[in-house]
Amino acid sequence: MSDSESEHEEVVQDLSNPDVTTKYTTAGEIVNAALQVVVDACKDGADIAELCKLGDKTIEERLSKVYNKKVKGKAIDKGVAFPTCISVNEICGHYCPLPNESRKLSDGDLVKIDLGCQIDGYPAVAAHTIVVGTSEITGRKADVLRAAWTTAEAALRTVVAGNKNSSVTEVIGKCCEEFKCNPLQGVLSHQLKCHVINGNQVIISKETPEEKVEEFEFGVNEVYGVDIIVSTGEGKARETEIRTTVYKRAVEQSYSLKTQLARQFLSEVNKKYPTMPFTIRAIEDEKAVRMGVSECMRHDLLEPFQVLTEKPGELVAQFKMTVLLLPGGTKKITGLPFTQCPIVKSDYQIENEDIKKLLSTSANPKKAKKKALQELKQNTN
């Protein structure tokens, strides 16, 4: 392949290709549908492992109805891009338990649902937070919910072509401060690309002397998974003893594993989940999983998504959305509306005038009118 052909292939994998945009938006529609199904199933007594299974099953069922025509004799790859995780109260994320290690939801639990799917390698992700069985939310639950939602709305209006990622980080901090909450340290919002769910261009929720990221400017036709996680505590996540069940293949690493079971496990991962995160629940052979995960981790073949937690008694809320930076503006394609929550009465509200002004602006992309397009054509002829 010549350099010009290679460059052309790279160009058509972004939003300048209408087919790519359609794949992102279709994946986004499926993500939103699956998210709604799981939200509706989050009742008192519901088993978390079953809820995670329900989310993944819903994604797979809906994917089976789209993009079934082969292209050049090859079926289009479709699947879960991030396994359904349901993290409760102080647990920050990545909780996708095996059936024998699960727990059940209770009324009053603050529940974070996180999932994603991909079509032809183009991923869409989302997360939503609810409170189980409560018609009116008050106190710190209300504060952290309002903080996370307001921060997500402000971030949506800041992730705009021409802005810098540092501007989003600043807005995140200011919004959380209004509700006496903290953004969770270590949380990164990644650029999404074909077969890439954690691109190198990232937004950090909170910079510290130890954790900084390179500044960059957002560009047209880019895609981001904007992940907002807010805590009533210090915002410092800690490792837990809860078993890690979500992993991602470290694609840049290779090693010839010694045991047959480990090779069998890695072969299945490479076949089914070559670039996207997966849950070990999806691998049927338990012996292969035990041996495979252990050996793969020793040789850095897998990246773990550890279950992290805040201090006991603190609360963590999350909202995640996939956004497309189109020529007309930033378009949000995943995420449920805040009306999914009942009455939320926080003791705080936005007082910062800059944030108020930002939130008063429209978050919908502008659509060019025919007259404007005609004038543009005349000026360029």
* pLDDT of amino acid 152: 97
Strand 202-204 vs strand 308-309: parallel, antiparallel, or unpaired?
Answer: unpaired
Question: Stretch 13-32: mean pLDDT, rounded?
Answer: 96
Question: Two tokens at 286?
Answer: 């338990």
In a domain, 375, yes or no: no
Question: Stretch 258-268: mean pLDDT, rounded?
Answer: 92
Same domain flag for 222 and 96: yes
**β-sheet bridge partners, residue 114:** 85, 127
Say which DSSP state 339 is in.
Answer: G
Q: What percent of the chain has pLDDT over 90?
A: 83
Same domain flag for 179 and 205: yes
Same domain flag for 195 and 322: yes
Q: Is 149 left (phi over 0), alpha (psi -120 to 50) or beta?
A: alpha
List, for residues 317-342, the tens digit of each pLDDT value. Answer: 999 999 999 999 999 999 999 876 67
pLDDT band of 12, cuts 50, 70, 90:
confident
Place of tokens 């079509």: 119
Number of domains in the chain: 2
First to last CA, the chain: 34
d(Cα 53, Cα 85) in Å, to the nearest integer? 9
Query: 339 is in which domain, residue-wise?
Result: 3-244+305-367
Place of tokens 């936005």: 350
* pLDDT of amino acid 367: 62
Amino acid present at 80 = V
For 191, half-sphere exposure in the C-beta direction (CA atoms, 13 angstrom radius) is 18
Check: CB of residue 216 under 8 Å from CB of residue 201. Answer: yes
In a domain, 380, yes or no: no
The secondary structure of 254-315 as a DSSP string is ----SSHHHHHHHHHHHHH-SSS-EEGGG---HHHHHHHHHHHHHTT-EEE---EE--TT--
List, for residues 273-311, the tens digit of each pLDDT value. Answer: 999 999 999 998 889 999 999 999 999 999 999 999 999
Positive or negative, the CA dihedral 94, 100, 105, 109 is negative
- Closest Cα to residue 263, out of 241, 279, 229, 287? 287
Q: What percent of the chain has pLDDT over 70?
A: 92
In a domain, 373, yes or no: no
List, for residues 343-357, the tens digit of each pLDDT value. Answer: 899 999 999 999 999
In a domain, 372, yes or no: no
d(Cα 45, Cα 132) in Å, to the nearest integer? 10
